[in-house]
C-alpha cells in the first residue's frame, strides 16, 4: 500500500494527533523562558508567544541588513557550510534588502526560517529550522543531520539566542563537534525598536580569529500579523 493510500485510510483523529505532534516540536518560548518571558516587550512576546504561520499563510518579515561583515575566514566557513545546507550568507555589503519567511516544517516539525539576501550580484539564501528535541531542548538545524543546540535567554528586554554546541546525527546517534573544531560562538539578538520594527544582530566569533561574521539589520512586522 502506498503512503498516500495509507494517509487516505488514516482516521481523522489520528491525522490530527500526528499534526499536533509535529506542531509540538515548535520552540515554546513562554514555557522555555518562564517568568523571563513576561519581561520581554509586548511586541516581542507577540512575535514569539504563539505560532501563526501555516503552509498557506507564511509570516514574511521585510527589512534591510544595515551592515554585513565577513572576514576571509568567515567567507570560507560560509562556503564550507554548504556541505550541511545553507545556514549562513557571508558578505561585506551594506544596505542589503532582506526577506525572512517563516513556514512550518510539516514533516519533521518546527519552523523553517528562510532568509533571502538581495545582494548586488544576486539573491543568496540561508535556511534553518528551529525546533525542539523530544526532551524539550531547543535546536536550530541546518539540514536533517546537522545543527546546533541553542541557549535562549532574556537579557535587558532582548531575546538572545546562543549556540552552545554543534552536532551531527548519524544513524540515530548524536555526535557533538569537539570544541577545538567549533566555528566559534554564535549569538543572535532580537531587539524591539518600537512601531512594529525590530533589530536582528548576528555575530559569529572565533576564540582565536575574532569576529568571522557579523550582520545587523532592521525588520518590520507583517502588516497582517495577528
CATH number reported for the structural domain that contains residue 148 in this entry = 2.40.128
Can you tell me the distance from the alpha carbon of 191 to that of 171, in angstroms, rounded to the nearest whole number?
39
pLDDT, tens digit, 9 for 90 and up, residues 34-76: 999 999 999 999 999 876 678 788 999 999 999 999 999 999 9
Global pTM reads: 0.85
Residue 225, domain member (yes or no): no
**Which cell is 27 given?**
520552540
**Which cell is 139 given?**
535546536
Can you tell me the distance from the alpha carbon of 175 to that of 22, in angstroms, rounded to the nearest whole number?
24
Residue 68, domain member (yes or no): yes
Residue 190, domain member (yes or no): yes
How many distinct structural domains can be found in the chain?
Answer: 1
Mean pLDDT along residues 185-191: 98
pLDDT, tens digit, 9 for 90 and up, residues 88-101: 999 999 999 999 99
Mean pLDDT along residues 208-216: 97
Three-state secondary structure along 31-70? HHHHHHHHHCCHHHHHHHCCCCCCCCCCEEEEEEEEEEEE
C-alpha gyration radius of the chain: 18
User: 132 CB contacts (<8 Å, ≥6 apart)?
Assistant: 25, 26, 27, 28, 110, 138, 139
Q: Which of 167, 208, 210, 217 is nearest to 62 (CA)?
A: 217
**Which cell is 207 given?**
576564540
Per-residue model confidence (pLDDT) at position 51: 61
Residue 226, domain member (yes or no): no
CB 3 within 8 A of CB 107: no
Per-residue model confidence (pLDDT) at position 172: 76
Domain that holds residue 95: 3-220
Diameter of the chain measured on Cα atoms? 57
3-state secondary structure (DSSP) of residue 147: strand
Amino acid at each position: 500500500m502506498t503512503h498516500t493510500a495509507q494517509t487516505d485510510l488514516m482516521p481523522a483523529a489520528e491525522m490530527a494527533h500526528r499534526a499536533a505532534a509535529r506542531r509540538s516540536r515548535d520552540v515554546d518560548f513562554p514555557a522555555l523562558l518562564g517568568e523571563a518571558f513576561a519581561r520581554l516587550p509586548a511586541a516581542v512576546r507577540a512575535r514569539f508567544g504563539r505560532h501563526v504561520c501555516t503552509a498557506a499563510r507564511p509570516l514574511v518579515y521585510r527589512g534591510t541588513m544595515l551592515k554585513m561583515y565577513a572576514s576571509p575566514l568567515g567567507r570560507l566557513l560560509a562556503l564550507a557550510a554548504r556541505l550541511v545546507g545553507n545556514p549562513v550568507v557571508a558578505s561585506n555589503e551594506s544596505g542589503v534588502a532582506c526577506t525572512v519567511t517563516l513556514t512550518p516544517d510539516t514533516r519533521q516539525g518546527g519552523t523553517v526560517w528562510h532568509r533571502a539576501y538581495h545582494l548586488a550580484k544576486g539573491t543568496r539564501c540561508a535556511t534553518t529550522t528551529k525546533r525542539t528535541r523530544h526532551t524539550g531542548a531547543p535546536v536550530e538545524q541546518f539540514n536533517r543531520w546537522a545543527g546546533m543546540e541553542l541557549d535562549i535567554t532574556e537579557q535587558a528586554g532582548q531575546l538572545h539566542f546562543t549556540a552552545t554546541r554543534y552536532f551531527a546525527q548519524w544513524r540515530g546517534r548524536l555526535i557533538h563537534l569537539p570544541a577545538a573544531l567549533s566555528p566559534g560562538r554564535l549569538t543572535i539578538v532580537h531587539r524591539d525598536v518600537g512601531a512594529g520594527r525590530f533589530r536582528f544582530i548576528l555575530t559569529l566569533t572565533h576564540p582565536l580569529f575574532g569576529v568571522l561574521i557579523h550582520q545587523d539589520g532592521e525588520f518590520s512586522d507583517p502588516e497582517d500579523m495577528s
